[in-house]
Amino acid sequence: MRRLPRGALAALAGVLGIGLELAALATWFAKGLDRASLPAFWAAHTAASALLAAALALGLARKRTQRRPAGVALVGTLLMAWPVLGWALLPLALGRMRRLQPRPPRQRFGEVRLPPLERIEPRRLARRVAGLGAQVARGSAPLPLQQQVLTLLTQRPSAAGNQTLAALRETGQLEDVRLLAYGVLDRQQQRLQNWIAQARAALPAAADPARLWALLAELHWELAHQGLASDDLREHALQQTLHWLQALQQRQGELAPRAC
């Protein structure tokens, strides 16, 4: 047998409750409001109130009824306690409860265990990074060691460290490790490229461009030396380094006779 939807069940319970309440009132008034028939009226009224409370619970959304059981019970109690006033206030109660917003679901987060990280003095950090980086480059480093290397390299970026990060970017055991290594390298590359762009933008207004040429040569060299540029980008960075060094050398050659 096919089950009725919640809306149909709510409507049916509401119609039955209203019909039972009207029938109880009509019977009681027909008997001249006799006190002897009062217990029968209260019994029918209680059943009608229960039906209306059930209609209310079924009519509201499931996620709201799960979080408002006390409200539904309160409305049912009011309907039973005040035969006339409670039923007159039923539309107001329904409209009020429809505006109630469900509580946000409680989020559960799993526990994340971080690997133990040793405290290393700055003077020993470079040697430690180089030793761990050799294991990572071979592709045999366990996951805790990979995470430790990432943490250390964020403290002390270097050319050797960037080679290790490049290896982690390709061979990391977890996607998070690979993405983090990629992010560290990308931030370093973006920082150098921003400095290069700022130096280029300052060239037209510079009274003595020699200082900026030296800076541009150094920045392009760092881009290639630290492993932040590969293939065509590395070749371009080296060409730019040579270009700015030649410009600087030519400038110094032009100023040398004047100094004499």
CA distance 43 to 165: 79
Tell me what percent of the residues of the chain surpass a pLDDT of 90: 3
List, for residues 196-221, the tens digit of each pLDDT value: 999 899 888 888 888 888 889 998 98
Place 45 in a pLDDT band, splitting at 50, 70 and 90.
confident
Query: Domain locations in the chain?
Result: 6-94, 122-259
List, for residues 52-83, the tens digit of each pLDDT value: 777 776 666 554 444 456 666 666 666 665 56
State which H helix or E strand residue 53 sits in. Answer: helix 38-59
Place 32 in a pLDDT band, splitting at 50, 70 and 90.
confident
pLDDT value for 203 = 87
Inter-residue contact 216 to 240 (CB < 8 Å): yes
pLDDT value for 250 = 85
Inter-residue contact 128 to 152 (CB < 8 Å): yes
E strands present in 32-93: none
pLDDT value for 65 = 45
Residue 187 CB neighbours (<10 A): 13
pLDDT value for 197 = 92
Please determine, for residue 189, whether its predicted confidence score (pLDDT) is greater than 80.
Answer: yes
Written as six digits, the tokens of 121 are: 């003095």
List, for residues 120-178, the tens digit of each pLDDT value: 555 555 565 566 666 665 555 666 666 666 666 666 666 666 767 777 776 665 666 67
Beta carbons within 8 Å of 118's beta carbon, 6+ residues apart: 148
DSSP state of 229: S
Average pLDDT score, the chain: 71
Torsion of CA 167, 173, 177, 182, to 10 degrees: 40
CA distance 153 to 95: 60
